[in-house]
Structure 1
Amino acid sequence: MEDRDPPADPPADGIAVVGMAGRFPGAPDVATFWRNLLDGIDAVHDYTDAELRALGVGERLLADPAHVRAGGRLPDVAGFDAEFFGVPAAEAVRMDPQHRLFVEQSWVALEDAGYDPAAHDGLIGVFAGGAVNRYFLFRQFGGDPDEPLDPGFAADYLTAQAAYRLGLTGPAITVQTACSSSLVAICTAGQHLLDYRCDLALAGGVSVMEPRFVHRPGGLVSPDGRCRAFDAAGQGGGYSSGVVVLALKRLEDALADRDQIIAVLRGWAVNNDGALRAGFAAPGLDGQANVVAEALAEAELTPASIGYVEAHGSGTAVGDAIEVAALAQVFAADPLPPRSVALGSVKTNIGNLDAAAGAAGLIKAILAVRHGVIPANLHYDRPNPDIDFDSSPFYVPVKNVGWQAEVRRAGVSAFGLGGTNAHVIVEQAPAEAPRPEAGGWHVLPLSARTPEALRTARTLLAEHLSAAQGIRLDDVAYTLATGRRAFGYRAAVLCRDATEAVAGLRGPDGDLPAPAGTPEELRRQAAAWVAGAGIGWPLPDGRTVSLPAYPFQRVRYWQEDRS
């Protein structure tokens, strides 16, 4: 179980992270992503010639010695459950895969938060940024001249697609600030929540990349696609594919609504370097220092309260040196002993997710704050000689570090090419009030759009309950009953403990698993729900918890080679 020392007085105007979703290089979900971080997995992939040719990379680029043949990839980028989201097959083929990924993971984030948008009586907003539509550039542009362009191919329509496919009626705002897009989107979402422009918000970003980059000395892309943040050998990093979505609510509402609270966003800031930098693509020290200082002031915190900084950490010699100098300038106002603040960059694990990079870093910081462990920074051997670590409180952990603090807090930075900077302060969740163990009988309702998806859902929940430690069955029953949409194919398991639940979930299709002694009225109510009725049994006094997401039945939708 994670260390959950509580903030004694949670901020009244904080923003609660109530759900998270994502697909990352080497990880199909957030839980696997966290395990990979703790295991020190380098998820950047080295492509073979056959893989590059299959992606359509031409012989001229293959022969270029500067071609970077590595990057973080997602399996089955072409896969999409179009029927689930009501997308016609022909339209699904034309959709930017980034839009498809973001729509899918937005649904997962809502499920993780325990909300069905069709049943939610408040406004749900969506805020996100996406990368350039490379699918259009490399798959569709120059194709059949008689085929009309789909007006939804552009990045502008990313959040509008999610709002339409999921039925979200709050603000739908697409944010484009390069590599800071997703963190700026999260800041924008937080402000809309505080201003009561929406009641629940989805925020994040998405990037689908192909290995078509070349290394240039002094550029952003390293020769081998690895990011050596803060290291003397840093020459940039590699670009990767990924999608990240967070579900956010006002903290006071999340507490009142019995939501799971994964962490709290205490404060944030967004600015631009303006003209105070060496060039348009160059980072600015003053702008970065100001955005960190403003976020701390917004959170009403001092630098001494921060134990970890998830940095932008691009791995470039100049960029890393400016970033640490800016942080040191802010933290000098509150002198701290050496090696008291850890510094890391998720880009060393998964590469640069471009528009989704800031949200990926935020999820890493959220999990570090929640579990009390700061993951090791990969590819760090010797410090960048232009970084003065000795006169700063910062150090780069090369192994996982246990985090002991009265209240764990982290800062997260993302800086976009063009000078738009964002910084977010994240704090561990307030402690839950003690609750008595809930005994007795519980009903676990599951449903899906197809029989195959229902069978998979049963298997996934059985595996989750078998592996989970300390999970409460009343919370599982509450989440399934209140936080999931009821589809046409249904199953229900009656049980008193996790052992009975797992046995019922693994039972034959079509049964209504119920151990001996099950109350007849409860059995009747569960059978009525399976047959299509609403929930008739009393709901447990539980809380929302993370459970396996809907098992999408993905089909390949892709513009194939027309040659």
Structure 2
Amino acid sequence: MTDDEGALAVIGLACRVPGAPDAATFWRNLVDEVDSVRRYTADDLRAAGVPARLAGWVPAYGHLDGLADFDAGFFGYPVAEAALVDPQQRLFLEVAYAAVEDAGYDPARSDATFGVFAGAAANRYFLWHLLGNPAALPDGVAPVWREDWEEAVPGSPPDFLPLRVAYKLGLTGPAVAAQTACSSSLVAVCQAAQSLLDFRCDIAIAGGAAVISTRQAGYRYRPGGMLSPDGNCRPFDVTANGMVFGNGAGAVVLKRLAEAVADGDHVHAVLRGWAVTNDGGARAGFTAPGVDGQAAAIVEAMAAAGVSPDSVGLVEAHASSTPVGDTIEVAALRQAYRRGTDRVEDCALGSAKANVGSLDAAAGVVGLIKAVHAVRDGVVPADPGFTAPHPDLDLAGSPFFVPAKTQGWPIGDEPRRAAVSSFGMGGTNAHVVVEQPPVRPSTVDDGGPHTLELSAATPTALAATARRLADHLTDDGAPPLSDVAYTLAVGRARLAHRATVTCRTTAEAVESLRRLASGDAPGHVAPAAPPRAGRRVPLPTYPFERRRCWIDPPDDADAGGRLPTETAT
């Protein structure tokens, strides 16, 4: 095991992506090789307002359920105000909150200084729904100049993504936006990591969000572009012909590893090294990738991690899913890896884009969440639909192979390690190295009694909290009740509606929680003092009660009958 000085712990994570409302479901879909890109029927397209006469429309997209919905009341917004906020910021606010809960912390009752680093895509909701739409204006406001919309519609700049989280969660450390196109969220992770090493904060939230289409009904294919003409996203495959975009968000919570271990935090994985570079001018054009710049990021991250390419068993790739882009990426990987290894075809290559589509500014952190699960659980997921590698990749004799099926990843002489790449249009490259977490000593339950504190903003959410915790405690590998009680006591906000359950065994806890959820048993007032002993463990996060907070766009007829072009190209 390498020296832990300079290493960071991933102590919390959360995401909402196509086909998955949370990180656990996302991981199950990856392992099961589920293609979560949605294909739309003719009825779906009519309902979405896509004209039947529109040429080149591809009815496929990484659809995010509940895009228009948000728990405005939980975060203190009137619905009318929430409907003006960029949905990317609303998504990231929820996943950031969930990630901090997954880490077992309540920032309001922690002495730690929290930072937040995040990036978002362009605000298409503002462009296509709010700008020029009288429904987006307060009563009595009738702007006569285009500039009047700047004051009339708040919440639009991507810069506000980390600032909104800092404001709503009460975080006083650095709050910094990273805007580097598709690499934004992984660059944000690198910025957060460096801030922790510089002791600018004690805990950092990092990630990003992307809403590339508010219509979520497909996209217009244009020959020569980066989008797939058939709606299939097949990284590295012989059939690879372009991307399919999707909507989503993700966040991780980082802490200095030595402190996380000393404080009894649950560690999902260890962040060993990271690097950010730019391709400069050595490429075919501004939007074209560069081999040398990508290779430099990989080499620098490996050096920072103090590890050899020989020890990396999985590369979670950027994967443009085009023959040219994938070939350039493999060439950069080969160039970087051949500096430190002679092995042949034993490092797996894959990308979550095959499962959920390209999530633009959120793609990097979502790839990191996949890699964290892989090194933690010892599983290498295969990309759905993969048949054979594209011949232009020239994988024969390289260190890499693309797994045809999901496979186990046993522990060898060194910890399991994965590398994650994210490359932004414009040339900013990010690369990180993660490894499996240190072994955590098991907890011996002292027999109780244990007091489980529950808290929520509404009675309905309190019942849902009890129900979700009961379900969690029936899963295989459920944590000891002493750790559950400790995490609930110190790692959850104390909200308006509270209840407690006292128990000695898991069976008693589940029975009492189910009664509480059904309304059969009133809860007791939660105690003020936390349990004397315990460790933080991942538990179900807050059950947001989302409702529609959305302003529909003006009719397409109002724009001369033209369909707004919402998808990035």
Could you state the TM-score of these two structures normalised by the residue count of structure 2?
0.91
2:421 partner letter: S
The Cα shift of 1:281 comes to: 1.1
Amino acid at match of 2:62: G
Change (3 A) 1:217 1:119: same
User: Which residue does 2:462 correspond to in 1?
Assistant: 454
Give the corresponding residue for 1:522.
none
**How many Å apart are 1:432 and its aligned residue?**
1.3
- The answer for the alignment partner of 1:28 in structure 2 is 21
Q: 2:92 aligns with which of 75, 87, 102?
A: 102
Q: Out of 66, 78, 82, which is 1:92 matched to?
A: 82
Is the 1:296–1:303 Cα contact (8 Å) retained in structure 2? yes
Question: Quick one: which amino acid aligns to residue 511 of structure 1?
Answer: A
Cα deviation code 1:47-100 (max 9, x no counterpart) = 23333344444x2xx534422221111111111111111112221111111111
Give the distance between the partners of 1:236 and 1:108, measured in 2 at CA.
Answer: 33
C-alpha contact 1:129 1:176 (8 A) present in aligned 2: yes
- 1:355 corresponds in structure 2 to 361
- Looking at structure 2, the residues matched to 540 and 49 of structure 1 have their Cα atoms a distance apart, in angstroms, of 60
2:521 paired residue number: 511
Query: d(CA) in 2 for partners of 1:333 and 1:438?
Result: 52
Q: Secondary structure at the match of 2:159?
A: helix
Which amino acid counterpart does residue 471 of structure 1 have in structure 2? P
- In the alignment, does 2:124 pair up with 1:134? yes
2:550 corresponds to 1:558 = yes
Residue 143 and residue 212 in structure 1: after superposition, are their counterparts in 2 closer, same or farther (change >3 A)?
A: farther
Match of 2:538 in 1: 546
**Counterpart residue number, 2:563:** none
The residue number in structure 2 matching 1:321 is: 327
Aligned to 1:155, the other structure's residue is in SS state: coil
Deviation at 1:381, TM superposition (A): 1.5
Q: Identify if the C-alpha distance between structure 1 residues 379 and 507 changes in structure 2 by more than 3 Å, giving closer, same or farther.
A: same
What is the aligned counterpart of 2:115 among 125, 135, 138? 125
1:310–1:361 contact (8 Å) kept in structure 2:
yes
Residues 502 and 509 of structure 2 are in contact (CA less than 8 Å); yes or no, is this contact kept in structure 1? yes
Deviation larger for 247-256 or 432-441: 432-441
Select the residue among 408, 421, 425 that pairs with 2:416: 408
User: Cα deviations across residues 364-399 of structure 1 (Å, max 9, x unaligned)?
Assistant: 010000000000122221221111111201000011
The 3-state SS of whatever aligns with 1:447 is strand
Structure 1 position 562, deviation (Å): 5.1
- The answer (yes or no) to whether the contact 2:2–2:306 under 8 Å persists in 1 is no
Q: Identify the residue that residue 43 of structure 2 maps to in structure 1.
A: 50
* Number of aligned residues: 535
1:498 and 2:491 are equivalent in the alignment? no
* Correspondence for 1:388 among 387, 394, 418: 394
* Match runs of 1:269-348 below 5 Å: 269-348=275-354
1:247 aligns with 2:250: no
Equivalent residues of 1:288, 1:326 under 8 A apart? yes
Q: Which amino acid aligns with 1:173?
A: V
SS at match of 1:87: coil
**2:7 is the counterpart of 1:14:** yes
1:192 aligns with 2:182: no
**Shift, 1:158, TM fit:** 1.1
Q: In 2, are the aligned partners of 1:308 and 1:409 still within 8 Å (CA)?
A: yes
Shift of 1:402: 0.9
1:484 aligns with 2:477: no
- AA aligned to 2:539 is L
Could you say which residue in structure 2 is the equivalent of 1:3?
A: none
Q: TM-score w.r.t. structure 1 length?
A: 0.92
Query: What SS class does the counterpart of residue 435 from structure 2 fall into?
Result: strand
Query: Share of identical aligned residues, percent?
Result: 52
2:426 aligned partner, one-letter code: G
Is the 8 Å Cα contact of residues 89 and 557 (structure 1) preserved in structure 2?
A: yes
Pair 1:31–1:375, CA change in 2 (3 A): same
Q: Tell me, yes or no, if the aligned pair for 2:38 and 2:60 is still in contact at 8 Å.
A: yes
In the alignment, is residue 464 of structure 1 matched against residue 472 of structure 2? yes
- The verdict on how the C-alpha distance between 1:409 and 1:296 changes in structure 2, with shifts beyond 3 A counting, is same
- More displaced 10-residue stretch of structure 1: 132-141 or 192-201: 132-141
Q: Distance in 2 between matches of 1:56 and 1:136?
A: 19
* Alpha-carbon distance in structure 2 between the residues aligned to 1:85 and 1:167: 12
- With 471-480 and 216-225 compared, the bigger mean Cα shift is at 216-225
The DSSP-based 3-state class of the residue aligned with 2:320 is coil
**Whole-Å Cα distance in 2 between the matches of residues 435 and 528 of structure 1?**
27
**Shift of the alpha carbon at 1:458?**
0.7
Range moving further from structure 2, 469-478 or 90-99 = 469-478
Which amino acid is 2:542 matched to?
Y
Note the C-alpha offset of 1:151. Answer: 3.2
Pairwise CA distance, 1:265? 0.6
- State the alpha-carbon separation in 1 of the partners of residues 447 and 515 from structure 2: 23
Shift of 1:561: 4.9
Check whether the contact 1:109–1:247 (CA below 8 A) recurs between aligned residues.
Answer: yes
Aligned-pair CA distance for 1:291: 0.6
Q: 1:491 to 1:46 in 2, by over 3 A?
A: same
Structure 1 residue 251: deviation in Å? Answer: 0.9
CA distance in structure 2 between the partners assigned to 1:417 and 1:246 by the alignment: 23
Q: C-alpha displacement at 1:528, in angstroms?
A: 4.5
1:371 corresponds in structure 2 to: 377
Runs of 4+ with >6 A deviation = none
Structure 1 residue 10 displacement after superposition = 5.2
Give the residue type in structure 1 aligned to 2:489: A
Q: 2: distance between equivalents of 1:130 and 1:53?
A: 29
Q: Deviations over 1:437-473 (max 9, x none)?
A: 4323111110111111111111111111112424211
Which blocks of at least 5 consecutive residues in structure 2 are unaligned?
144-148, 556-569
Unaligned runs of 5+ in 1: 1-7, 514-526
**Equivalent position amino acid for 2:369 in 1:** I
Indicate how the Cα distance of structure 1 residues 157 and 354 shifts in structure 2: closer, same or farther if over 3 A, else same. Answer: same
